Amino acid sequence: MVESAKLPYTNELGFYEMRFESIGGLGANLAGQILAEAMVLGQGLNGASFSSYGSEKKGSPIKSFVRLCAADREVRTSSPVERPHLLAIFHEALTGLDGTTEGLTSESTVVVNTTRTPAEMRDILQLPSGRIGVVDALGIAVQEKTRLNTAMLGAITQAAGFIDREVVRKTIADALSQRYPSLVEPNLRTFDRGYHELVLEDFAPDGKYDWIPFTRFVPALGYANVPLGGTIINPGNTILKDLSPSRQGFVPLFHRDECIDCGKCEMTCPDYCFVWEEGVDKRGRPAMVLQGIDYQHCKGCLKCVEICPVEALTMEREEPELVRRTSIELVGPPEALVAMERSKFHLYGEPESPGYWDKIS
C-alpha cells in the first residue's frame, strides 16, 4: 500500500486545490489528468481532475482543475476551483484577462510560463504578497521538440513542494509509452528542465498592492431573463476583440523590405489583421501598400507565413517587446470612438496627447 503524502495546507473542506489557466492546444487538461493520477496512485491521496472549456478548439480559453485531499476523505464535488492554493498560467497573455488571478490568497503560489522575472510578473499580476514562479516552458518545449505542458508539470511539481518528482515522471512515461514510445525520453527531459529551471521568489506584504475581495462571477443574463435574439458586443475585428490569448507562442513577423504587396496574406488571413494604406508601388504608381499587422486581432494561425511567396512574413517566437514594437493598431477617428462611447478608454495616453488618435506603430 502506498504511503499517503501530507498536504502542506488545505481549505475549510480539507482540499488542496489547483487551477490551470490555459488555452486549447497547450495540454493543460492532460497535465491535470497526469498530476491527479500521480497523486492518487503514486502518493496515496484522494483526488480528481476535471476541466472547463467551451467549443473544444485550439485557442479557446480553458481551465483545468485538480482537487486533492487525504486518503481518509472523499472528493464528492466537481465545482470549479475558485480559491486555488496553486495557480498555473500556461500562456502569459492570459494574465490580461479578467478572472485569471481571481481567488488568490497570501498562501497561493503562482507559476507562469514566461521569460519575465518573478518581480516583473508580480507587478503585472498586481499581487500584494505570495510566491511567484516563472519558467520559460515554451522555450524548453521548442528546444526539446515537445509540448509545454510537461515543462509546466515539472515547474508545478517543484513549486508545490509535496509532489514526488519520480512519481510524476513515471506517470508521464506510462501515459506515453504505449502509443508514443518515441516521445517518452524527450518529454521526461522537458519535465526535468521545467523542474530545475523554475525560478521561485517569495514576496512579503509591502503595501504595494491591495488584496481585492473575492467575488463570484454572476452573469447579468441567464436562461430566465435573456431576451429573444441576442447582441454580440465584440464581433469580429473590432477594438473590443482581443485574440492575442489564442496564440500559442508564435507570431508572424512582417518584413517591409521583402514585401511585394501581392495581397495573398490579406486573402488568407481569417481575422483581417493586415493594415493597408494608399500609397505608391515600386514603380511610382498608385497602389495599396501593406503597413503591417494588428496583433490584437492575430490568433497566430500562421497561414500568412505559409502563403507568402517572398518570405516577407516569418514565424517568430512571441515576445511582448516584439509584438509591442511591430504591431500596428488602428484606433480610428475621434468622432467614431465618441459614437462608440470609447472616450473613457485611454489606450495610448490622454486624448490631447500628440498622435493619440493616429495609427500607432
Give the C-alpha separation, 42 to 47, whole Å: 12
Task: Give the homologous superfamily in CATH for domain 16-203.
Answer: Pyruvate-ferredoxin oxidoreductase, PFOR, domain III (3.40.920.10)
Domains of the chain, residue spans:
16-203, 244-330
Give the pLDDT score at 186: 95
Give the C-alpha separation, 43 to 37, whole Å: 9
Give the C-alpha separation, 141 to 147, whole Å: 5
Q: 244-330 in CATH: which number?
A: 3.30.70.3270
Give the pLDDT score at 360: 32
Give the pLDDT score at 333: 45
Give the pLDDT score at 296: 85
Give the pLDDT score at 329: 65
Query: How does pLDDT run across 156-191, given as a tens digit for each residue?
Result: 999 999 999 999 999 999 999 988 999 999 999 999
Give the C-alpha separation, 242 to 222, whole Å: 24
* Site of grid cell 503597413: 291
The crossing angle, in degrees rounded to 10, of helices 137-144 and 184-197 is: 150
Q: What is the DSSP pairing of strand 286-293 with strand 274-280? A: antiparallel
Cell of 201: 521568489
Give the pLDDT score at 1: 53
Domains 16-203 and 244-330 are alike in CATH topology = no
Give the pLDDT score at 239: 65
Give the C-alpha separation, 3 to 14, whole Å: 18
Cα 13 to Cα 74, 101, 215, distances in angstroms: 11, 21, 19
Start-to-end CA span in the chain (Å)? 62
In DSSP terms, which residues pair with 313 in a beta bridge?
A: 254
Q: Global pTM? A: 0.79
Give the pLDDT score at 332: 47
Give the pLDDT score at 90: 95
Which parts of the chain sit beneath pLDDT 70?
A: 1-2, 54-58, 230-240, 329-361
